[in-house]
Each structure stands twice: as structure tokens, then as C-alpha cells.
Amino acid sequence: MEYDNKISNIIRDLPRSGIRDFFELVIGRTDVISLGVGEPDKPTPWPIREAVIRSLEKGQTSYTSNLGLESLRIAISEYVTKQFRTTYDPKTEILVTVGVSEALDIAFRAVLNPGDEVIYHEPCYVSYSPSIKMAYGVPVVVQTREENEFALMAADVEAAITPKTKVIALNFPTNPTGGIMPHEELAKIAALAVKHDLLVFTDEIYCELLYDGRQHKSIVEFPGMRERTILLHGFSKAFAMTGWRLGYACAPAPLREAMMKIHQYCMLCAPIMSQMAGLEALKMGASAYEEMRQSYEQRRNLIVSRLNGMGLHCFNPGGAFYVFPDIRSTGLTSKEFAIQLLEKKCVAVVPGSAFSSAGEGFVRCCYATAPDLIAKAMDLMEEFVNEVRPAK
Amino acid sequence: MDPLIELLRNNSNRSPKEIALSLGVAESEIAARIAAAEADGTILGYSAVVDRLKAGDRRVTALIEVRISPERDGGFDRLARRISKFDQVRDCFLMSGGYDLAVIVEGKDLLDVATFVSEKLSTLGGVLSTATRFELKAYKENGFLANGGGDEERLPVSP
């Protein structure tokens, strides 16, 4: 059978995630130190796992409300109020989803008409552009640059706004760069959104993981923003719950209701086990992640010093658990660098080009890895860099 | 707590250089602070946490609940320190509740521990009673799970 014409044009033309290609090279190898993951190196805290075991023993295995358990939405509302100084009504403004990925997908589908433009920043997590395209939107890229420590510049956003712009999508701290937003730049972007009457989607998945005593501020906190913002958050990173696939969206009631329509037909509800886990995670609050956050900060200090020490320029990222060193001095492309490092030294990093063309010349190293393994990986990477760097 | 001490409590095996980079201070300062903590008794010592079964260690361990009579000056301290000095005693804690001292004792076999308790410990002046409970199996020691703790696996590369 000729399958090409059986597959929708949009899906056919969608590129495969660059991460997948690299994944195939590494999978099955047991001799590799991996700095290639996008998740915490510890399993979900035991009290959370224990609470789910207990709920299974009690037989809590049924559907929940499409919106998610009411007790969980109340807990989310309280957590969001504390975290973002913005309050949402658990009954009308919160939707529990299958990870932020689903929340992002249904948010785009809920608001975009064919041809509507979405401004987002690259390098970024792999799903932004495909999610926009799958919702028949037009992705409009704004590059973030190393000279700004990969923060998004309001002037660049302004230059990308057209009469067709409907949404600005933000994700800070950012995967893969670890970049964060200076508050004054965020204020300017908020003002642009108000001026041009745009929606803003803010993916806050790394907001708990900030370093050097920084306080997180979301764009939703700026004047005029709550009514036009869909705030997306989840449990994966701070609570080490990637495999539970649990997230949520907070938005004004009409937007939440539109997302809800899609969610109820395609997902019905998030798995109840995951929702029980989320409830326990929010009961633990910061105690579930504060120790890990401090440990990540020390690991970041270690890896940033080592990378700069071996001559790979690397800015000191303010959040998430990634560093994004500039590898251009080796004369290799980011893909060549990652493949050769894997083949010669058995260390896995992800080519920056997997996160868009703006990531070319960089690699992503995740430091949610045991400190002794980070140190070992840095020793090996230093050997590698000395071997491949062109003689001066 | 001092982040350096906290870091060493979790893993004392890290090199001063790595610790220095992690905490963002000079390596020489780390070495000096560790030396000072060792000198003033903040750091009591270093040891590896071992799965004794895997290491082929067949010695037995017992928790001995000891009731003692406090003294007019110093309460339980003098006797507790005296008990702690025996080589067989690995740990010794003053406890709240039904007994006073929790004494962890290691011996080469049951008889060895029993002899220590009956001849050395219970005969000390001030010791009112002892109750000996032998350890059968270690599941977690000093924060480390025996058998590595789990089979959790991460994908080597993920977005």
C-alpha cells in the first residue's frame, strides 16, 4: 500500500524530533555516562509513591471528573497562589491534564484558527513548533541569544508581531539553555501583549528550580496579564514525576472551558493514580524538592566551572537543570561533537541542533546526574576537547 | 548547617577540588575548613557504609537497651562515656522512653556479644538492667538502601 497519501499532510511534513535520532544511538549501551536526559536523577519522593500504593490498595482506580479531582484542583489553586501570587477558582479556572505537553497542545487547539500566528522562542523544548502546526497555527520563531544568556528580548518579540499574531508562548527557565527572564524584560513583553491584545501561554515547568537566591516571577503577575494568560505547570521536574504525566492549566473560565472541551473528548481525564500522586506532592510542597534544588545548584556550579575551564564557553544559567556550552571552538558541529564524544569517550550529551537551528554550535548537558558522574564526564569531555580542538 | 558539612555528610569521598567548584569557593579554603572541622571535633571521622552481608562480614550486631541510674553530678554522662569506650560498642545514644541508653554492639558471634553484656556491661556499677536484641538483617544503613534500593531506570536520552 502507498502510505504517503494516507497520512495527513501536516503530520507527513512534521520533522521527527532530533532527540529521537540521537536516542537510537545511545539506547542499549550500558557503558555510557549520560548527561542527555531531561529529568531528575532521583525517583519520585517515597511519600508520594507510598500514597499512591495506599490509594491503589483502597481501590481508587476509577475515572475522575474531566477536570480532575476536586481536591487536587483545590490544592493546585493554593499552590499556584503561593507560587505565582495569582489565584484561580478550582471549579472554573483549573484543568488537570496529562502533563504540560497535553495542556500545551489543547491550549493551542482551543484558541488557534488556521493561519493564526504564534510567537515562541528558540532554542526551546522540542514540542512547541509541532504543537502549533498540529493546531493549524503558524509558528513564528524569535531567537534567543547567548549574549543575552538566552533571555527573550522584548524588542525581538515586538518585531515579530503582525496583525495575525494571536499568542506569545513563553517557557522560562528554558529547556535546553537554562536561561531565565530578567523581570524588566518580562514586564516589557507583558506590555506588548496588552497593547496588541494577545494571549500569552506561559509554561512554568521549571519555575521551582531557580538558583543564586532568585525569586521566580511569572508574566501572569504583571498588570493586565491574568485575563490573557494560560498558565501551564506540572509535577515532572520539581517533584521528579516525569513518568506520571501530570500537569495542569490555569486560565480564565472561557479559555479553561474551551480547553476542557478538547480534553474531555481526547483524554477524558488524567489517570487517577497520577492525580493521587499530585495531591500528595502538593501536600509535601517545597519540602519535596528544596534539598534537590540545592544539590542541583552545587552541581551546576561544578559543571559550569569545568566547562569554562576546558575552554568551552558556558554562561551560568539561572534555572532548570541544563547547561548549554558553546562548542564552536572545537570546529565541530553540535551533532558531530555529540556523536564523537559518545563514540570516543562514552559520554552522552544532546546536540543543540535537536532544539532548533538556533541551538547549532551548542550542546545540552543535563546536570541532574550524580556529582561523581558529572566530574567523571567532565574529565572525559576535557580529554575529548583537547584531542579535537584545532592546534593554534 | 554549613553546606560544606552537609555535602560531606552525604558523601565524604568527594575531592576538595570538586567540592570547591560545587560551592564556588577556593580549593584551599575548602581544605582549610575541613581541617578546622576535623580539629575541633565537628567531623568525628570517615568510614565507608558497607553492605556487611556482601562483604562477607559474619559478625553479629545487637541493640542493647540499658537502664542506668543517673548520678548527682553529670546525670548519665559519666557512665555513658565509660560504656562508649569499649571497642565492642559501635554506637551509644541516650534515649527518651522506657530505657536510658541504646548501645549498639558488634561481636564475632552470639556468645561473644552475650559475654560482653553479661561480664562487662551489666556488671558496671550503676547499670540497672539490660535487654539484648540481635539484628537479623540490614535493609538500610546510614541513609543507604541495601541492594542499591531499586530498579528504577532512566532513558539515556530524553527531551
- Average pLDDT on B135-156 reads 83
pLDDT band at B90 (very low <50, low <70, confident <90, very high): very high
B154 interaction partners in chain A (CB closer than 8 Å): 34, 37, 39, 41
In sequence order, the 6+-apart residues with CB closer than 8 A to the CB of B146 are B51, B53, B138, B139, B140
Q: Which residue of A has its CA nearest to B4?
A: A298
Q: Is the pLDDT assigned to residue B149 strictly greater than 70?
A: no
Mutation test of the interface with chain B: which of A21, A26, A305, A379, choosing the one with the most B Cβ atoms within 10 A?
Answer: A305
Residue listed under C-alpha cell 567540592: B19
- Average pLDDT on A16-35 reads 86
- Average pLDDT on A333-360 reads 94
Contact B157 A29 (CB under 8 A): no
Give the gap in angstroms from C-alpha B49 to the nearest C-alpha of chain A. Answer: 17
Shared-domain flag, residues A38 and A125: no
pLDDT band at A267 (very low <50, low <70, confident <90, very high): very high
Shared-domain flag, residues A86 and A36: no
Q: Which residue of B has its CA nearest to A32?
A: B156
Shared-domain flag, residues A108 and A135: yes
The reply to whether A337 falls in a domain is yes
Shared-domain flag, residues A35 and A78: no
Count CB pairs under 8 A between chains A and B.
Answer: 67
- Say what the pLDDT of residue B147 is: 79
The reply to whether A392 falls in a domain is no
For the stretch B104-128, what's the b/e string if a residue is b when 16 or more beta carbons lie within 10 angstroms of its beta carbon? ebbbeeeeebeebbeeebeeeeebe
Shared-domain flag, residues A50 and A38: no
Contact B14 A17 (CB under 8 A): no
Strand partners, B89: B105
Shared-domain flag, residues A61 and A35: no
Domain range spanning residue A128?
46-285
- Say what the pLDDT of residue A17 is: 82
- Average pLDDT on A207-217 reads 97
Q: Which residue of A has its CA nearest to B155?
A: A37
Which DSSP symbol is given to A148? G
Domain boundary residue among A242, A268, A285?
A: A285
Out of B21, B150, B159, closest to residue A38 by CB: B159
Give me the CATH number covering residue A334: 3.90.1150.10
pLDDT band at A34 (very low <50, low <70, confident <90, very high): very high
Out of B7, B23, B158, closest to residue A37 by CB: B158
Out of A17, A36, A302, closest to residue B18 by CB: A302
Shared-domain flag, residues A350 and A334: yes
pLDDT band at A24 (very low <50, low <70, confident <90, very high): confident
- Say what the pLDDT of residue A19 is: 83
- Say what the pLDDT of residue A183 is: 96
Backbone angles phi, psi at A318, to 5 degrees: -85, -10
Give the gap in angstroms from C-alpha B82 to the nearest C-alpha of chain A. Answer: 38
In terms of Cα–Cα distance, which of B3, B89, B72 is closest to A301? B3
In terms of Cα–Cα distance, which of A160, A154, A240, A236 is closest to A203? A236
Contact B150 A43 (CB under 8 A): yes
Contact B22 A371 (CB under 8 A): yes
- Number of Cα atoms under 13 Å in the Cβ half of residue A288: 25
Q: Is the pLDDT assigned to residue A213 strictly greater than 90?
A: yes
Residue listed under C-alpha cell 506520571: A244
Distance, C-alpha A305 to centroid of its chain: 24
Contact A37 B154 (CB under 8 A): yes
- Say what the pLDDT of residue B22 is: 94
- Strand A322-323 vs strand A363-366: parallel, antiparallel, or unpaired? antiparallel
Out of B13, B21, B157, closest to residue A302 by CB: B21
Residue B73 CB-density burial (10 A; 0-12 exposed, 13-18 middle, 19+ buried) = exposed
Out of A37, A43, A175, closest to residue B152 by CB: A43
Tell me the helix, strand and coil percentages in chain A, rounded to 5.
50, 15, 40
Domain boundary residue among A266, A285, A304?
A: A285
pLDDT band at B152 (very low <50, low <70, confident <90, very high): low
Kindly list the domain boundaries of chain B, sorted by start residue.
3-39, 60-136
- Distance set, CA A109 to CA A88, A118, A163, A174, B158 (Å): 22, 12, 19, 23, 25
Distance CA A367, CA A303 (A): 7
Shared-domain flag, residues A30 and A18: yes
Shared-domain flag, residues A297 and A266: no
A360 and A333 Cβ atoms separated by less than 8 Å: yes
Total structural domains within chain A: 2
Distance CA A287, CA A343 (A): 40
- Say what the pLDDT of residue B150 is: 63
DSSP string across A242-308:
GGG--EEEE--HHHHHHHHHHHHHHTSS--HHHHHHHHHHHHHGGGGTHHHHHHHHHHHHHHHHHHH
Shared-domain flag, residues A299 and A375: yes
- Strand A199-203 vs strand A229-234: parallel, antiparallel, or unpaired? parallel
B159 and A21 Cβ atoms separated by less than 8 Å: no
pLDDT tens-digit readout, B95-140: 999 999 999 999 999 999 999 999 999 999 999 999 999 999 999 9
Q: Which residue of A has its CA nearest to B159?
A: A38
Q: Is the pLDDT assigned to residue A392 strictly greater than 70?
A: no
Residue bearing the bigger pLDDT, A2 or A181? A181
B149 interaction partners in chain A (CB closer than 8 Å): none
In sequence order, the 6+-apart residues with CB closer than 8 A to the CB of B32 are none
Out of A36, A127, A294, closest to residue B157 by CB: A36
Shared-domain flag, residues A230 and A293: no
pLDDT band at B74 (very low <50, low <70, confident <90, very high): confident
Distance CA A315, CA A302 (A): 13
Q: Is the pLDDT assigned to residue A327 strictly greater than 70?
A: yes
Give the gap in angstroms from C-alpha A309 to the nearest C-alpha of chain B. Answer: 11
Kindly report the average pLDDT of chain A as a whole number: 96
- Say what the pLDDT of residue B156 is: 81
Residue listed under C-alpha cell 505537553: A101
Give me the CATH number covering residue A51: 3.40.640.10
pLDDT tens-digit readout, A53-80: 999 999 999 999 999 999 999 999 999 9
pLDDT band at A18 (very low <50, low <70, confident <90, very high): confident
Contact A26 B157 (CB under 8 A): yes
Contact A37 B14 (CB under 8 A): no
- Say what the pLDDT of residue B151 is: 65
Shared-domain flag, residues A55 and A186: yes
Domain boundary residue among A285, A319, A343?
A: A285
Distance CA A233, CA A168 (A): 16
Q: Is the pLDDT assigned to residue B72 strictly greater than 90?
A: no
pLDDT band at A198 (very low <50, low <70, confident <90, very high): very high
- Say what the pLDDT of residue A207 is: 97
pLDDT tens-digit readout, A71-130: 999 999 999 999 999 999 999 999 999 999 999 999 999 999 999 999 999 999 999 999
CATH code, residues B60-136:
3.30.70.920
